[in-house]
Structure formats: structure tokens, C-alpha cells
Structure 1
Amino acid sequence: MFRPLLVTALLVAASSAAIAEDKDDTVATPVLRAQVTVESDIVRVGDVIENAGTAAQIAIYRSPDLGTTGSLPTAQVINVLQAHQVIGVDTKGIKSVSVTRLARILDGKDIESQVAHALEHRSGLGDAANLNLTFDRDVQDVRLDASNTGALQPVSVRYEARSGRFDVSFEIANDNTGSRTKLRFTGVAIEMLEAAVLTRNVDRGDVLKASDVVIERRPKAEVGSDAATRSHTVGMQMRKGLRAGQPLKIADLGKPDLVQRDDNVTLIYEAAGLYLTVRGKAVDGGTEGDTVTVLNLQSKRTVAGTVIGRGQVAISVPMPRTASADTTSSVAEPDAPVSIARRNNAQTNSNAE
């Protein structure tokens, strides 16, 4: 709401002196403005009137709130002007005068972002984008005088890692005065990480499907620094059982076993010129590259081999020393092979008796 201001006798005298100019001088007619913008908290004659002359600096109204617009009926404005000896105003048929108070508006979301960047990488905190801030007071848009054109500069940043409490102060430079506008924000900061979270209870040995996990943001203190992402969980095997809703860690997962305990497997004996396969039963499980123990179902002996595929275990076959260069090398036969495939044909004796 606009309220007329009381002016001193000195200001009134100055206005009267302006009217009492020599009649021979040409004086421009004062003209009413329909749209007015002001930066200060005072509306003056020169703001609402063109050609106000020496009366321009006379204060007549208080400005509306920062960043808002108010309306004044023309008749009311004319009455106030006449009270200050400003007469003969051309209203140009204007019904009301609109007055807007200029302001610099700091968006609440931008303020939160500035606080997060001020706290970034302090006392063990991570990137600003991963910080979840809870303010002691709701952060709303801040309206400042338009003269506050400086950047929002952090001048004091404190963070307590144990409690998560923060206290951040900013300053903004002012064009009109040497003083700076100060803003202070306090609250709690928690670093969040994206983690793969189980949608169902899982047991040790379960292989995860896409429907078994969702991505959620969880506190770093809850998931640790080894939180598993979705791309590293689907198709992996659980190393222990977990409940639905628990975040997954890299240590909870492993490559899926290609051979599982008590599975029927194929033992593969391979050497130069020889490829043998034997039926076996896994004594323990393992993934690709693991060494596992397998029972040879033909010889009933256990052998150690390397997992090379699903249900496949490779057995190393030692090569015997050759008696001489003219003697063809022979390979020790494995226990009771199911099938034998020789890759090189035996040499044919070419000496006819």
C-alpha cells in the first residue's frame, strides 16, 4: 500500500520557487507517466512526472515491496502533487499509475546449489551433485535491492563430518554503498550415492536378473564406497543371502559359477595330437578360470581341473619324454575315456618285408 510522505517546509519552499519562475521563460508542461519503475524505497515526483523540474526530488510515496508492482489512481496522485505545489499536470487520460519496485531475486534452488558447491569436497564430502541438504529453515526466493549486483561469494564455510551439520555464509557486493549484503544458511548435509537395491529376498548362489534390482539414491554411510551399480549386478551371482530393500555392494557379487557342486560335467583331456572327453561329477563349484575337483565317473578317481565353460573342466595331461627323435611321442592315457579323437594319423610303415 502506498502512503504519502510528510515533507519539510524546505522542500515545499523549493517546489514553490520552481512554480514562481519568470513568466517570460518557457516552462515544459509536466506530464503524468502511466508506468513507473523505481529502485529505492521512495517514489519521488520525478518518478511519476516528466518535466518535473526542481520538484523532481520531492518524496511523495513509499515504494511497493521489492519485486512487486502497485497501482495508484490518477486522481489520488494529482491531489498529492497539488499538495506539493505541482500543478498543471497533463494526465493524458491515464486512469491509474503503475509503480514497480525493481529487485534482484535469488532463486531458492540456486541458493541451495551455491551452498552445495561451497561444501563440495570438504571434510570428506564428495561432489556437490551428490549432496542432500536439509536446511534449518526452508530456503525460499530472496529479494534484494537491485543495487546488489555482486556474485554470491562464500566467506565462511564450516562442516562437521560426525554430525553432518553445516554453517555457510555469503556476501553480495552493493553498487551504491561499500557495505555488503550478508546471507547465512545452516542445516545438515548428507552425501548420497546411486546404488543397486534388491527387489526380492535372494539366497547365496542366486544369479540376479534385471527385475531383481532397482537404482535408488542412498546415504554413502549406508552403502559405503563400494556400492554396486545396475550394470555390475545383472547376471552376477550372489555370494551371500540378502533381504529385499538392501543395497548391493561389489563384495556381495561374483561371476556366476559355470560349474556347480554335484553337477554332471565333461572332463576334457587335451594334448598335442590328442583330445579326450570323460564324464565326471563336480565335487565343488567354480567360475571360469577356477580350479575345481571333479570325480571321474569311470575310474572313480578325483582329479583337479580348470573351469573353461559351462559344465566343462579341462585336465592338464603331462607329456612323457621321447626315447629318441625317431620314435613317435605317446601320451599317457587318462582314466577310462568315453571317447578318443586323434588329430594326427599314425605313420604307416613303408618298409615292405
Structure 2
Amino acid sequence: MRRISLAGLVFLALGLLAPLAAAESKGSNTPETGDGIITLNRDVVVEGDIVRLGDIFSGLGEKSETAIARTPALGKKVPVGVRWLTAVAQKYALPWRANSRLDKAIIQRAVTIIPPQQIKARVEEALFDEGMQQNAMLEFDTPSVQLLLPREQGDGVAVTNLSFDATSGRFTAQVAAPAEGVPVAKATLRGRAIRVVDVPVLRRRIDAGEVIRTDDLDWISHRADRLMRNALMDSDSIVGKSARRPIGAGVVIKASELRTPQVITKNSLVTIRLETERMVLTAQGRALEAGTMGEAIQVMNTKSNSIISAEVVGRGTVRAALTNNVVIN
């Protein structure tokens, strides 16, 4: 059984289309050529449905308008090799010869590509008109859909049909291009509208124990359905707090990662205050544990070695409650 190469199949496929030119070339197998040298156009981009002789070869003069084949499908590139090129040259009596057996041309139709970003933007506009909330982002089931148009057909995309379920966020959109006139390319897109919220994040890495300031924060939009329950949503819950452990920039901050800054460190010397309406007694003590403002910590009186529980009221200062167990001296 005789084998047919890929190049042969291309030759046969395009050869079957040659009758397009028959009516134009009948009785004129040796049309006039231009005065210049005939050269091969290796990258052939054709506007319209018909490949003409002048698309393949340059320097033909009037015969360049001779139709020889139909253009490939949109987005397809058809390689034609020496056999096909030589057959075309001989058929139309062109004084052209290949430089080598590797000579070839790549034929494709001129297209306008409408990218996924443009299509998604148009669908988003249509969904907003349909009542979708502004604080939403779209998640497409097939995010890479694009439309191809013949270049001569114009551009633009229109949403021709749209259904939207506000409860689930699911939508189906039918799009067509060009935006005006008879549609040439169509596609159906499905997806989901997802609510997004603005959340505070750090502009820079914060080390453990470092206090967060207002200018350390930035804001980003984040999917609401992917936020953790203990995510902090406002700056008041963050500013003035210190990090329990290092926190990276740009990540959502969790409540468990922060604490009120320590104003007393473990084993530091502190002033113990005992206050009544008529007097204030003070004594020196040593903090047996770290403490934040308002927190009760264990303090040892350095003179009596007695241990009491006292409230942190300032940096280096604790306040003892007046009970029978308090020993100041």
C-alpha cells in the first residue's frame, strides 16, 4: 500500500482547491509577470477567504491576483513545501525555482484575537448590570477562552445571553464577536461570582515582639469564602499589638498571632504600689513572669521574698490589691 506523507496530504488538500483559479486562468496559462525577480514569501498571512498567487510569490505583476486556494481555518497554519510550490509555479508558468529542497512557506489567515481578559471584562459589566454586587470577583470554569475573528470582520465582543443566580453566584454567559453585525465567533462561559472584602495586611515582615504601627499596614482584596474565622478585619485590632512570632508581608493576620505588648519582662525589677485613700506604699519587687497592661502577674518582694499577685499598671510598675495576704515590707 502506497504511503502518503504529511506534506503530500497538504499538497493534495490545497491542490483540490486549485479549480478556484481555473476560470480566471483559462486560456491564459502564461500571464504577464512583473519586471522584478520572483521571490518566495515564506510567511504568508492572508486577509479574506482566498489565497492568491501574489500571496505566495512576490514580483508577479497582474497575475498576483490569481486565486489558487482557500485560506486555512482561523488559527491554523498550513506549511507548503517544495513539491507544492513547484507545482504551482509550473501550473502558472512562473520562472521560479526553489533554492533547496527545504524551501517552504507557512500560510495562515489574518486574525483578530479577542483575549480572555477582554471577554471576562465584558461579562463582568453585563453581570453588574444584572445586579451583581460591586464587591465581587468572577471565577470562570474555563478561564482561557478566547475568540478568533477574520481580521477584516472588525473586533469587539457582546454578551448575547446571560443568566445569573444571585444566591449561589453561578452564571452562564453567551458571548459573540464581533460586537456589531453578524456573529462570526461564539462561546459560552460559566462560572461563579465570589464576594471579596478588604482586609489589612503587613507592608513588611514583622519580627516577634515588634509592635505594629499604622504605617506598617496595607489593604488588599481577599475572597470572603477563604478567610479564616480568626482573621483580623480592621486596623484597630492590629495597631499597637505585638507579634507573638514573625509575620510575613502581604498575608492575612490572625488574632492568635498578636498580643498586647509586654511592658514588664520576666525577672525585671518593678515598683510595687499599694494604694489606699490615705496613703501610697511602695516597695521593690522582681517580676516572676512577663506582663502586659492590665494583666495580673506574680511578683516577689525583694526584701521579704514574699510572692504576691499584682496588676501591671505601667512600664516597670505593678499595683497590689489590699488584702490580708499582701506583704509590702
Indicate the TM-score class for this superposition, using the shorter chain for normalisation.
0.5 to 0.7
The answer to whether 1:43 aligns with 2:48 is no
Return the match for 1:103 from 101, 111, 117.
111
Which residue of structure 1 lines up, in the alignment, with residue 26 of structure 2?
16
> Could you say which residue in structure 1 is the equivalent of 2:178?
173
**Contact residue 291 and residue 306 of structure 1 kept, 8 A:** yes
Per the TM alignment, residue 185 of structure 1 is displaced from its structure 2 partner at its CA by: 1.2
Is residue 184 of structure 1 aligned with residue 188 of structure 2?
Answer: yes
Task: Spell out, residue by residue over 1:187-235, the C-alpha distance to the aligned partner (whole angstroms, 9 max, x if none).
Answer: 2344567799xxxxxxxxxxx779xxxxxx9851353798338x94973
TM score, norm. by length of structure 2: 0.53
Counterpart position of 1:3: 14
Structure 1 residue runs of 5 or longer lacking an equivalent are 197-207, 211-216, 238-246, 316-334, 339-353
Identity of aligned residues (%): 19
2:209–2:261 CA contact under 8 A, matched in 1? no
| Residue of structure 1 equivalent to 2:315 | 309
Residue correspondence of structure 1 range 223-238 to structure 2 within 5 A: 223=227, 227-228=231-232, 232=238, 235=242
Match of 1:221 among 201, 222, 225: 225
Q: Which amino acid aligns with 1:28?
A: G
Alignment of 1:126 onto 2:130: no
Name the TM-score, length of structure 1 as normaliser: 0.50
Coordinate RMSD, CA, aligned: 5.6
Do residues 150 (structure 1) and 159 (structure 2) align? no
Matching residue within 31, 34, 48 for 1:28? 34
Residue 267 of structure 1 deviates from its aligned partner by 3.9
Asked if the contact 1:156–1:168 (Cα under 8 Å) also holds between the matched residues in 2, the reply is: yes
Tell me the number of residue pairs that the alignment of Structure 1 and Structure 2 aligns. Answer: 267
CA contact 2:112–2:155 (8 Å) conserved in 1? no
Structure-2 change in CA distance of 1:64 and 1:180 (3 Å): closer
How far did 1:277 drift? Answer: 2.1
Cα distance, 1:184–1:259 mapped onto 2, change above 3 Å: same
1:105-148 superposed Cα distances (whole Å, 9 cap, x missing partner): 4555x4686478556896346365xx6x251x463565443335
Q: Retained in 1: the 8 A contact 2:86–2:97?
A: no
- Residues in 1 aligned to 2:319 and 2:154: alpha-carbon distance in whole angstroms: 73
| Structure 1 residues 160 and 90: CA distance shift in structure 2, 3 A | same
Q: Which amino acid in structure 2 is aligned with residue 3 of structure 1?
A: L
After superposing the two structures, state which structure 1 stretch, 164-173 or 304-313, moved more. 304-313
Do the aligned residues in 1 keep the contact of 2:261 with 2:292 (CA within 8 Å)? Answer: yes
- 2:81 is equivalent to residue 77 of structure 1: no
Runs of 5+ consecutive residues of structure 2 not aligned to the other structure:
1-9, 202-207, 211-220, 245-251
CA 1:160–1:278: 2 relative to 1, 3 Å? farther
Instruction: Read off the aligned partner of 1:31 and give its amino acid letter.
Output: I
Instruction: Please report how far the alpha carbon of residue 63 of structure 1 lies from its aligned counterpart in structure 2 after TM superposition.
Output: 2.8
Question: d(CA) in 2 for partners of 1:280 and 1:182?
Answer: 80
**Pair 1:97–1:42, CA change in 2 (3 A):** farther
Alignment of 1:284-323 (within 5 A): 287-288=292-293, 290=294, 307-309=313-315, 311-313=317-319
Q: Which one-letter code corresponds to 1:307 in the other structure?
A: V
Kindly indicate whether the alpha-carbon contact (under 8 Å) linking 1:18 and 1:55 is maintained by their aligned counterparts in 2.
Answer: no
Match of 2:71 in 1: 63
Q: Is the 8 A contact 1:168 1:185 kept in 2?
A: yes
For 2:77 and 2:24, how far apart are their aligned partners in 1? 30
How far off is 1:165 after superposition? Answer: 1.5
In structure 2, what is the Cα distance between the partners aligned to 1:250 and 1:120?
34
Q: Which structure has more helix as a fraction of its residues?
A: 2
Measured after TM superposition, the shift of residue 98 of structure 1 is 0.6
CA distance 1:143–1:123, shift in 2 (3 Å): closer
Residue 47 of structure 1, CA deviation? 2.0
Q: What corresponds to 1:203 in structure 2?
A: none
- What amino acid maps onto 1:123 in structure 2? M
Q: Distance in 2 between matches of 1:142 and 1:14?
A: 35
